[in-house]
Amino acid sequence: MDISKRGQEIQPSPIRKLKPYADEALERGIHVYFLNIGQPDIPTPQPIMDAFHNYNEKVLSYGPAQGFLELRQAIAGYFRSYDIPIDSENVVITIGGSEAIHFSFSAVADPGDEIIIPEPFYTNYNGYAAFASVKIVPLTLRVEDGFRLPPTEEIEARITPRTRAILLCSPNNPTGTVYTPEELERVTAVVKKHDLFLIGDEVYKEFVYDGGTHKSVLEYEEIKERVIVVDSISKRFSSCGARVGAVITWNEDVYQAVLKFAQARLCPPSVEQKAALAAYQMGLDYFQPVKEEYQKRRDVLFDGLKDIPGIVIHKPQGAFYIIVRLPIKDCEHFVQWMLTDFHHNQETVMVAPAQGFYCTPGRGKDEVRIAYVLKEEDLKRAIVVFKEGLRKYQSLFL
Amino acid sequence: MDISKRGQEIQPSPIRKLKPYADEALERGIHVYFLNIGQPDIPTPQPIMDAFHNYNEKVLSYGPAQGFLELRQAIAGYFRSYDIPIDSENVVITIGGSEAIHFSFSAVADPGDEIIIPEPFYTNYNGYAAFASVKIVPLTLRVEDGFRLPPTEEIEARITPRTRAILLCSPNNPTGTVYTPEELERVTAVVKKHDLFLIGDEVYKEFVYDGGTHKSVLEYEEIKERVIVVDSISKRFSSCGARVGAVITWNEDVYQAVLKFAQARLCPPSVEQKAALAAYQMGLDYFQPVKEEYQKRRDVLFDGLKDIPGIVIHKPQGAFYIIVRLPIKDCEHFVQWMLTDFHHNQETVMVAPAQGFYCTPGRGKDEVRIAYVLKEEDLKRAIVVFKEGLRKYQSLFL
């Protein structure tokens, strides 16, 4: 009595699989700086908390499958404040960005179809590709190039008769890259020429640094009907546990398919949608201090790491991640060792081995992803501990 | 640029598709008694509301993929209070019973595999089967037989080399049937003999009337490793909008597969899990008055309908639904007509055409599902209006 093949084959979350070692370190009294997952320490805005505290329906009932109209209107308004003419009828509320990915994959691709994604990429795309029996075709980027997109020919070389879409995540998790208009135009031209969909994962839209602005794939009029944006409040409003996301599309067929998928799971959480509505009602001013805080952290992390002998590093322009190549052959072993065998004054650091962000076998073994989700003081301390651990690891194993 | 085949083919929710006609009736000032969906009017228990009001974490952060340990322990404790020895390690918290169905289907079946389900069945099984590319093989039951399960040979006749599981929903949505130990033994023997899984949808466990008790598929020791139970707080605690469910299994391979599926979507909603915990902490005493209320409603509905000339009806033993055959050829037309063309003193009734609960083409066209989710006074009034509508419809169309 075997379980299903997909149940056997779906990979465990590479970000979470080292968690037990961290738990053991904590049990030994070691303080662990968690730079391994994108869980911000920014306080969840008070209007969100107030929405929970003020919730007062008599019956916590089902809402509409596509989400509450008020929230869909608020999200549409958010896009319109960026001059992107979204209406509530272009928005389906999803259970986190995760479900938005799942619905998008399922709406454009059938089992065996392919979606091209620049790697390294957010690992959970793998989970949903497995769930949807869709094949991810990686377009490998390199830290030496600052994870810039390759020339058009290299993108086109990945296209087969089964290709259904290209997915771009910008600002990027895990690289911190923000695609330039030139890069986006290169991809939109390919999408148009080869009759594909373009899925834009733009959940880090607000996190662009150095005065830069985010260019959305929704801003390309000529591929308007081909674009699906995956959105979420998790990072935007430091509300990862709320599980409120959205699919944004002008394509009516895609919208109807996503709506039918949504009907199958009845509705997103009702109270959390009211919390999300309260968050959007804060307006865009909320983001400026948050962005400044992350930019400061980015600078602290980048400046703290860049002089490590043998490191290959590029300065992220957005989100709150960086991928660096370390002068270490097996970063998974290093990350584990930091938790099991190392501490510096009872402190250690957990980062994410980058291998899980690649789909091409062997890639990323010498890289780690670091999330700058802690406040400056903690981050500075974590960098000291990380460098100390790296030095010791090298002295032991190299 | 077509969307995916699955996006085109997944059926819209048959329960929800007539909703626009109801909205139009409401706009015309007609009062609509909604007996079409399982949205109870029982107030959500105060401890759930208190959990929202008292939520006070600084950061609404990700929780564990499998759900908070405290909630998993509380759910395990709930089963142990029924002498079913579940531990927290046998529980994965899901985003509603919906996700529990999805995960269970995906854990036992690969694309093209088959799951046998007695029909009429809960329509959302169709959605998740489509999502998981799994084929539902219906085992047709009949209202004349009180929707009892057929002899063993008829069940076995549905088994093919691709069969992976049988799903039993008891107490049943949409029929209200509670399977007897004899029926369950018949199925467990088939499951064992043919090396299958048994998925038990037991979300209505607390709703068994006339002093009867619910027998869980978890109580069959000899198929312990084959059983997966789909659970939810939606109906149990009148909290449909919370989206908190669970997969319960002793099978370690199934558990690990479900855990990996769960990791791909990160975590269930955090605050709603705390609300669910508060609900379980109320203990079993909470259910008695709720059960009495539903039993009263069942009696009111059954007694109100049973004398309709030409009706075929059986008395439900549990849940809060009844399927009746009406002396009408096309119940979907009738349901729609009740919303668009009929009112009795500015009131009408919405029920669910039963066709959507059947997978076999043509079945259920002359049946409707009625959910007794309104309080006695409203239900009595709704019955008067329903009978008046039926009488008028027959005079017009028969």
The predicted-structure confidence for A105-126, as pLDDT tens digits, reads as follows 999 999 899 999 999 999 889 8
Identify all chain A residues contacting B164, using CB atoms and an 8 Å cutoff. Answer: 4
Task: Quickly state the pLDDT bin for B398 (edges 50, 70, 90).
Answer: confident
Residue from B15, B34, B52, B273 whose CB has the most chain A CBs within 10 Å, to mutate = B52
Please give the ipTM for the structure prediction. 0.90
The torsion angles phi and psi of A324, rounded to 5 degrees, stand at -125, 150
Identify all chain B residues contacting A63, using CB atoms and an 8 Å cutoff. Answer: 241
Is the pLDDT at B94 greater than 80? The verdict is yes
Question: Among A187-191, A211-215, B226-230, B261-265, whose mean pLDDT is lowest?
Answer: B261-265
The H-assigned helical ranges of chain B are 5-9, 19-27, 46-53, 69-80, 96-108, 124-131, 152-156, 181-193, 252-264, 270-280, 287-305, 331-340, 376-397
Which residue in B42, B43, B261 is closest to A131 by CB distance?
A: B261
Task: Quickly state the pLDDT bin for B6 (edges 50, 70, 90).
Answer: confident
Model confidence over B344-388: pLDDT tens digits? 999 999 999 999 999 999 999 999 999 999 999 999 999 999 999
**pLDDT score of A13:** 75
A333 CB burial (10 A radius; 0-12, 13-18, 19+): middle
The candidate with the shortest Cα–Cα distance to A372, out of A269, A245, A200, A235, is: A235
- Exposure class string for B85-103: b at 16+ Cβ within 10 A, else e: ebebebbbbbbbbbbbbbb
- Matching residue, tokens 């529990």: B100
**pLDDT score of B283:** 93
Task: Quickly state the pLDDT bin for B11 (edges 50, 70, 90).
Answer: confident
- B199 Cα to chain A: minimum distance (Å): 13
Percent of chain B with pLDDT over 70: 100
Identify all chain B residues contacting A13, using CB atoms and an 8 Å cutoff. Answer: 65, 260, 263-264
Which residue in B7, B59, B96 is closest to A257 by CB distance?
A: B7
List every span in chain B annotated with CATH 3.40.640.10. Answer: 46-282
Mean pLDDT of A183-201: 98
Q: What is the DSSP letter of B171?
A: S
**pLDDT score of A37:** 87
Which residue in B253, B259, B275 is closest to A3 by CB distance?
A: B253
Distance of alpha carbon B213 from alpha carbon B81, whole angstroms: 14
Distance of alpha carbon B194 from alpha carbon A240, whole angstroms: 44
- A8 Cα to chain B: minimum distance (Å): 6
List every span in chain B annotated with CATH 3.90.1150.10. Answer: 5-43+286-397
Q: Which residue of A has its CA nearest to B67?
A: A241
* A10/B260 Cβ within 8 A: yes
Task: Quickly state the pLDDT bin for A10 (edges 50, 70, 90).
Answer: confident
Distance of alpha carbon A177 from alpha carbon A65, whole angstroms: 34
Identify all chain B residues contacting A274, using CB atoms and an 8 Å cutoff. Answer: none
* A271/B6 Cβ within 8 A: no
* B264/A130 Cβ within 8 A: yes
Task: Quickly state the pLDDT bin for A348 (edges 50, 70, 90).
Answer: very high
Residue from A105, A223, A224, A243 whose CB has the most chain B CBs within 10 Å, to mutate = A243
* A269/B108 Cβ within 8 A: no
DSSP B202-228: -TTTT-B-TT--PPPGGG-GGGGGGEE
CB neighbours of residue B112 within 10 Å:
10
Q: Give chain A's mean pLDDT.
A: 95
User: What's the 3-state SS for chain A?
Assistant: CCCCHHHHHCCCCCCCCCHHHHHHHHHCCCEEEECCCCCCCCCCCHHHHHHHHCCCCCCCCCCCCCCCHHHHHHHHHHHHCCCCCCCHHHEEEECHHHHHHHHHHHHHCCCCCEEEEEECCCCHHHHHHHHCCCEEEEEECCHHHCCCCCCHHHHHCCCCCCEEEEEEECCCCCCCCCCCHHHHHHHHHHHHHCCCEEEEECCCCCCECCCCCCCCHHHCHHHHHHEEEEEECCCCCCCHHHCCEEEEECCHHHHHHHHHHHHHCCCCCHHHHHHHHHHHCCCHHHHHHHHHHHHHHHHHHHHHHCCCCCCECCCCCECCEEEEECCCCCHHHHHHHHHHCCCECCEEEECEEHHHHCCCCCCCCCEEEEECCCCHHHHHHHHHHHHHHHHHHHHHHC
Distance of alpha carbon A87 from alpha carbon B140, whole angstroms: 44
Identify all chain B residues contacting A37, using CB atoms and an 8 Å cutoff. Answer: 62
Model confidence over B338-354: pLDDT tens digits? 999 999 999 999 999 99
Task: Quickly state the pLDDT bin for A364 (edges 50, 70, 90).
Answer: very high
**pLDDT score of B19:** 87
Task: Quickly state the pLDDT bin for B211 (edges 50, 70, 90).
Answer: very high
Beta carbons of A113 and B135 less than 8 angstroms apart? no
Pairing outcome for strands A197-201 and A163-169? parallel
Task: Quickly state the pLDDT bin for A345 (edges 50, 70, 90).
Answer: very high
Q: How many beta-carbon pairs below 8 A join chains A and B?
A: 248
Model confidence over B150-201: pLDDT tens digits? 999 999 999 999 999 999 999 999 999 999 999 999 999 999 999 999 999 9
Which architecture, in CATH terms, is B46-282? 3-Layer(aba) Sandwich (3.40)
For A46-283, CATH number?
3.40.640.10
Distance of alpha carbon B202 from alpha carbon B233, whole angstroms: 11
**pLDDT score of B17:** 77
In this structure, which topology does domain B5-43+286-397 adopt according to CATH?
Aspartate Aminotransferase, domain 1 (3.90.1150)
Distance of alpha carbon B309 from alpha carbon B321, whole angstroms: 21
Which residue in A12, A240, A251 is closest to B260 by CB distance?
A: A12
**pLDDT score of B38:** 85
Identify all chain A residues contacting B130, using CB atoms and an 8 Å cutoff. Answer: 264
> Length of chain B, please?
398
Q: Which residue of B has its CA nearest to A192?
A: B1
* A268/B106 Cβ within 8 A: no
CB neighbours of residue A252 within 10 Å:
12
Beta carbons of A74 and A220 less than 8 angstroms apart? no
* B260/A7 Cβ within 8 A: yes
Q: Give Cβ neighbours of residue A288 (< 8 Å, ≥ 6 apart).
A: none
Half-sphere CA count of A27, side-chain side, radius 13 A: 7
Identify all chain B residues contacting A251, using CB atoms and an 8 Å cutoff. Answer: 3
What is the domain class of A5-43+286-392 according to CATH?
A: alpha beta
Strand partners, A118: A139
* A133/B226 Cβ within 8 A: no
List every span in chain A annotated with CATH 3.40.640.10. Answer: 46-283
Model confidence over A156-182: pLDDT tens digits? 999 999 999 999 999 999 999 999 999
Pairing outcome for strands B321-325 and B367-371? antiparallel
Q: Name the CA dihedral angle for A315, A320, A326, A332, rounded to a multiple of 10 degrees.
A: -160
Distance of alpha carbon A298 from alpha carbon A285, whole angstroms: 21
Task: Quickly state the pLDDT bin for B40 (edges 50, 70, 90).
Answer: confident
Between vectors from CA A107 to CA A184 and to CA A81, what angle results, nearest 5°?
Answer: 50
Mean pLDDT of B221-237: 97
Q: Who has greater pLDDT, B20 or A89? A: A89
- A97 Cα to chain B: minimum distance (Å): 9
Identify all chain B residues contacting A266, using CB atoms and an 8 Å cutoff. Answer: 96, 98, 124, 240, 243
Q: Which residue of A has its CA nearest to B129?
A: A264
Beta carbons of A322 and A370 less than 8 angstroms apart? yes
Q: Give Cβ neighbours of residue A73 (< 8 Å, ≥ 6 apart).
A: A88
Half-sphere CA count of B248, side-chain side, radius 13 A: 30
Each as own residue / partner, the long-range contacts of residues B20-25 (CB below 8 Å, 24 or more positions apart, any chain) are B21/B336, B21/B339, B21/B340, B22/B339, B22/B350, B24/B339, B24/B340, B25/B339, B25/B340, B25/B343, B25/B348
Residue from B124, B256, B265 whose CB has the most chain A CBs within 10 Å, to mutate = B265
The candidate with the shortest Cα–Cα distance to A318, out of A143, A182, A175, A167, is: A175
- A128 Cα to chain B: minimum distance (Å): 7
Instruction: Write out the two tokens for B331.
Output: 């119940």
- A308 Cα to chain B: minimum distance (Å): 32
Q: Give chain B's mean pLDDT.
A: 95
- Matching residue, tokens 């002068």: A327
**pLDDT score of B39:** 85
Model confidence over B109-164: pLDDT tens digits? 998 999 999 999 998 898 889 888 899 999 999 999 999 999 999 999 999 999 99
